[in-house]
């Protein structure tokens, strides 16, 4: 089991990045030469922001330039389940 968290943080020009708390689980079992592993990330399926930045942007070149910053973020991965198998030779 792994828990990770980040408190709210300050960004440039007075903006604030949101905080998050995540829970991941993993388990493995080995029988003879066969090993099975299960990993579950973001068990609570929280919507979270992996990275946040605050800057002036102009994605549409037809829009006029602006010096007003906007909050941009990269979404964190949702609930993810992985199953792995290893055969030891």
Mean pLDDT by 10 residues, the chain (89 residues): 91 89 97 98 95 83 81 94 97
- In this predicted structure, what is the pLDDT of residue 82? 98
For tokens 């602006």, the residue is 66
* Predicted model pTM: 0.73
**Nearest to residue 48, comparing CAs of 6, 10, 82?**
6
């Amino acid at each position: 089991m792994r828990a990770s968290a980040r408190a709210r943080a300050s960004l440039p020009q007075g903006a604030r990045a949101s905080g998050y708390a995540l829970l991941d689980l993993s388990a493995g079992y080995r029988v003879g030469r066969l090993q099975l592993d299960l990993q579950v990330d973001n068990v609570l399926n929280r919507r979270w922001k992996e990275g946040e930045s605050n800057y002036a942007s102009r994605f549409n070149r037809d829009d006029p330039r602006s010096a007003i910053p906007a909050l941009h973020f990269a979404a964190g991965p949702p609930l993810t389940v992985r199953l792995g198998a290893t055969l030891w030779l």
